[in-house]
Amino acid sequence: MAVAKARKAANKANGKPKPAPSLPKTKENEAQIAVHWKEEEYFHPSPKFIGQANLNDPAMVERFSETNFPECFRAYAELLHWDQYWHTTLDASNPPFWKWFVGGKLNACYNCVDRHLAQYKNKAALIFVPEPEGEAATVITYQELYRRVNEVAAMLRDFAGLKTGDRVTIHMPMIPELPITMLACARLGVVHSVVFGGFSGEACGLRAADSGSRVLIYADGYHRNGKWVDHKASADIAVETAKKEGQSVDKVLIWKRYPGHFRSESPMIMGRDFFVDEVLKDYRNHVVAPVSQDAEAPLFLMYTSGTTGKPKGCQHRTGGYLAYVAGTSKYYQDMHPTDVYWCMADIGWITGHSYIVYGPLALAATSVLYEGVPQFPDAGRPWRIAERLDVNIFHTSPTAIRMLRKAGGDEPNKYNYHFKHMTTVGEPIEPEVWRWYYDVVGKKEAVIVDTWWQTETGGFLCTTKPALDPMKPGSAGPPALGIYPIIWDEEGKEVRAGSGAAGNICIRNPWPGIMQTIWGSPERFVNQYYKKYNKDPQSKDWRDWPYYAADGAVLAADGFYRILGRVDDVINVAGHRLGTKEVESACLSLPEVAEAAVVPAVDDIKGRVPVVYVSLKPGIAPTKQMQDKVTSAIETMIGKIARPKTIHIVPDMPKTRSGKIMRRVLAAISNQMDTGDITTLANPDIVEQIRIQVQGRSRGPVKEGPEDIKMFGDER
Ligand code: WT7
């Protein structure tokens, strides 16, 4: 910070602020790392796509210009049915706790189901594709969805005793009963908190306790990668964990993957566990009136990892969220009721909430749900599904694209499907992977949108407008309608377009999809997302409260944003956020472990994978068994998705004189990068020792390495 301090002192001495001098490239301004990549050529949407697109009129872009903020977002809210129209589009009087569509009343389930019956009751709402290829797909029409959601809502209200405002934790795999349960909650105004099926029972229990859920909803099991996963067992662990945290769970409702056949080894606990298919018999054809909710009533919680060990419950509102996902689904996903749309994400993540369930169903689209992994039983599977169902909009992540390309780069050519539109989301995509997606998967016919956003933001922040903007491989693109980003360096100086420098991307204005708060921690919400660039905590002007996204980004001269990755202690593994602190605390739960540090390593398929460094207490031997113990602690406390690539047991950690572990040095070693200046460390000799242990050699050639790893572990 020496440079910044010097500049501030100079400004003060002169009495008035001076324009900042251009900073020398030193360690002090690492957010401004110069980024070197070649400008990619543009690709253009076809006239055929443009002709049918929902967003092909530049007047719409004009409508969302900054001078029309916030009223521009009426265009999104007007896609919904309101029981009572709102009187104030944005109430920004208590920053950063924004209120959207104030005075308005609506029900999210009514908007996604009931209102489509008149026109579309016989149309497919959901098409469920089981992983075993011998099992036929199941179609659920809007009429059938209406019936099933009502029955489940009646059960949740009358059997489970859930009321408007209660929270319920849902730990389920990708089966249609998951969106049905979510919509039933929304019908009652019960706040759902869906935990990704791949998380452990313990991780689920912690989230259930944080949200104060006394009802858990499970499935007995599911198919994944050719194996049957017994899921019910994790319910018992979740209940135990929640209890330790002071939260008692009195009912566990269990869906059977095959109604009538319980397929788990785990016994039912009398008086606590109930089979949904049996209880539902008492609610056949029951109808429950949708509860008319305040626009600001919370719709759901979605837990995500952050800089501290504890996952935070992002709380999303009913009106603003639903308006934002309906609007962005319509204009960026280009969904029409006649399209067959398939998003390969899991509903247990925000992508699934916004762009498998709420967005598509709000628009009366047909949304495909696939139970399993994309490359099962082979890399042709997704393309067989697309061909069979005539999918024309496809949505997935760079990790899945890399995997499918590696497993069968020619496979898409063998199948007769045609996409008009494809999405990539969750991590940066390498231009050559983008080109394979475009040429081979999209057969040079489909447009691609690279959508940058986050669990917190509800929906897209940067993406091209598919019929209006050209595409540029590797860049998310310009801001979404009504979103005004800015890139700042660590000192709050704007990083300009075309400067080639990176900085922290922020959003200057509120938008309807942004989360309301962190469940139970409003201070954490303010500190995490708004404190960094807020100059006046007393200010009541929204312009003083930019949203800090914790992503590094570069803005090209053409106005396209390229997202480099997280600048905090979060690792993006296969498009999913993993908090390094969470993994470290799992390691530290073992009595033998003295210290733990988790850093990202570059991986060809998953983008980044966690590498774990631990040091052991005196007298404990660094054995293979010890490594296995660390792995299993991580899998138990978080889940298999957090399984580290390698575990290094080291004699000591590189530390600053004040005792802080230098994660940046470990990240550099794990990625064959330059460790930089280490002379100021308390124990510089350990670096060489660890390098030899990890790389099998002392100082050798180093790689340039990606920007997020260069920035990893910085104090910011
Ligand atoms: C983080 C958010 C967005 C929903 C799924 C992930 C990274 C997201 C992109 C993109 C480059 C991206 C960011 C972000 N990210 N989309 N198109 N290009 N990076 O949601 O789990 O909350 O993760 O994913 O680093 O902060 P999430």
Using the predicted structure, report yes or no on whether residue 569 has a pLDDT greater than 70: yes
Report CA dihedral (6, 8, 10, 11) to the nearest 10 degrees: 160
- Mean pLDDT value across residues 664-680: 92
Judge if the beta carbon of residue 606 lies within 6 A of ligand 1.
Answer: no
In 318-365, DSSP assigns E strands to 340-343
Using the predicted structure, report yes or no on whether residue 30 has a pLDDT greater than 50: no
- What's the pLDDT score for residue 521? 96
Nearest CA to ligand 1 atom 20: 454
CA of 454 to the centre of ligand 1 (A): 5
Judge if the beta carbon of residue 427 lies within 6 A of ligand 1.
Answer: yes
- What's the pLDDT score for residue 24? 40
Give the whole-angstrom CA distance, residue 551 versus residue 708. Answer: 9
Write phi, then psi, for 471 (nearest 5 degrees): -105, 145
Q: What is the crossing angle of helices 201-211 and 624-637, to 10°?
A: 40
Nearest CA to ligand 1 atom 25: 565
Locus of tokens 């949708």 = 290
CA of 605 to the centre of ligand 1 (A): 16
CB 605 within 8 A of CB 652: no
Which of 329, 425, 707 is the pocket-test mutation for ligand 1 (most atoms within 8 Å of CB)? 425
Judge if the beta carbon of residue 108 lies within 6 A of ligand 1.
Answer: no
- What's the pLDDT score for residue 184? 99
Nearest CA to ligand 1 atom 13: 565
Judge if the beta carbon of residue 399 lies within 6 A of ligand 1.
Answer: no
Residue from 623, 589, 483, 629 nearest 61 by CA: 483
CA of 593 to the centre of ligand 1 (A): 32
Using the predicted structure, report yes or no on whether residue 14 has a pLDDT greater than 80: no
Locus of tokens 């008149």 = 118
CA of 144 to the centre of ligand 1 (A): 34
User: H-helix or E-strand containing 698?
Assistant: none
CA of 215 to the centre of ligand 1 (A): 31
- Mean pLDDT value across residues 149-169: 98
Using the predicted structure, report yes or no on whether residue 693 has a pLDDT greater than 80: yes
Whether the full predicted model's pTM is greater than 0.85, yes or no, is yes
Nearest CA to ligand 1 atom 2: 454
239: which 2 tokens? 């209940």
Range with the poorest average pLDDT among 6-10, 217-221, 336-340? 6-10
Judge if the beta carbon of residue 332 lies within 6 A of ligand 1.
Answer: no
Using the predicted structure, report yes or no on whether residue 442 has a pLDDT greater than 80: yes
Write phi, then psi, for 679 (nearest 5 degrees): -65, -20
Each residue's pLDDT tens digit, 374-407 = 999 999 999 999 999 999 999 999 999 999 999 9
Judge if the beta carbon of residue 162 lies within 6 A of ligand 1.
Answer: no
Please give the mean pLDDT across all residues of the chain: 93
- Mean pLDDT value across residues 639-656: 94
Judge if the beta carbon of residue 563 lies within 6 A of ligand 1.
Answer: yes
Judge if the beta carbon of residue 452 lies within 6 A of ligand 1.
Answer: yes
**Ligand 1 atom closest to Cα of residue 476:** 17
CA of 575 to the centre of ligand 1 (A): 7
Using the predicted structure, report yes or no on whether residue 598 has a pLDDT greater than 80: yes
Judge if the beta carbon of residue 565 lies within 6 A of ligand 1.
Answer: yes
Nearest CA to ligand 1 atom 14: 454
- What's the pLDDT score for residue 36? 65
Judge if the beta carbon of residue 351 lies within 6 A of ligand 1.
Answer: yes
Each residue's pLDDT tens digit, 244-295 = 999 999 999 999 999 999 999 999 999 999 999 999 999 999 999 999 999 9
Q: What is the crossing angle of helices 580-588 and 624-637, to 10°?
A: 120
Q: Other CB atoms closer than 10 Å to residue 49's CB: what's the count? A: 18
Q: Other CB atoms closer than 10 Å to residue 681's CB: what's the count? A: 17
Judge if the beta carbon of residue 328 lies within 6 A of ligand 1.
Answer: no
Using the predicted structure, report yes or no on whether residue 310 has a pLDDT greater than 90: no
CA of 345 to the centre of ligand 1 (A): 13
- Mean pLDDT value across residues 407-432: 96
- What's the pLDDT score for residue 34? 64
Using the predicted structure, report yes or no on whether residue 417 has a pLDDT greater than 90: yes
Which of 343, 357, 563, 708 is the pocket-test mutation for ligand 1 (most atoms within 8 Å of CB)? 563
Judge if the beta carbon of residue 455 lies within 6 A of ligand 1.
Answer: yes
CA of 388 to the centre of ligand 1 (A): 30
Nearest CA to ligand 1 atom 23: 454
CA of 466 to the centre of ligand 1 (A): 19
Task: Report residue 22 CA to chain centroid gap.
Answer: 36
Using the predicted structure, report yes or no on whether residue 337 has a pLDDT greater than 60: yes
Strand order in 312-317's β-sheet?
273-275, 251-255, 215-219, 167-172, 191-196, 298-304, 312-317, 517-518
**Ligand 1 atom closest to Cα of residue 576:** 21
Judge if the beta carbon of residue 454 lies within 6 A of ligand 1.
Answer: yes
Judge if the beta carbon of residue 354 lies within 6 A of ligand 1.
Answer: no
Judge if the beta carbon of residue 562 lies within 6 A of ligand 1.
Answer: no
Give the whole-angstrom CA distance, residue 540 versus residue 305. Answer: 29
Query: Residue 697's pLDDT band (boundaries 50, 70, 90)?
Result: confident
- What's the pLDDT score for residue 3? 31
CA of 576 to the centre of ligand 1 (A): 8
CA of 627 to the centre of ligand 1 (A): 31
Give the residues across from 215 on adjacent strands: 251
Give the whole-angstrom CA distance, residue 333 versus residue 349. Answer: 18
Contacts of 224-229 with CB under 8 Å at 24 or more apart are 224/131, 224/173, 224/371, 224/372, 224/373, 225/131, 225/372, 225/373, 225/376, 226/131, 226/376, 226/377, 228/263, 229/173
Using the predicted structure, report yes or no on whether residue 7 has a pLDDT greater than 60: no
Using the predicted structure, report yes or no on whether residue 484 has a pLDDT greater than 90: yes
Nearest CA to ligand 1 atom 24: 426
Q: Other CB atoms closer than 10 Å to residue 519's CB: what's the count? A: 24
Range with the poorest average pLDDT among 99-103, 138-142, 627-631, 695-699? 695-699
Which of 483, 572, 641 is the pocket-test mutation for ligand 1 (most atoms within 8 Å of CB)? 572
Judge if the beta carbon of residue 504 lies within 6 A of ligand 1.
Answer: no
- Mean pLDDT value across residues 569-590: 92
- Mean pLDDT value across residues 304-332: 93
- Mean pLDDT value across residues 39-65: 97
- Mean pLDDT value across residues 360-375: 97
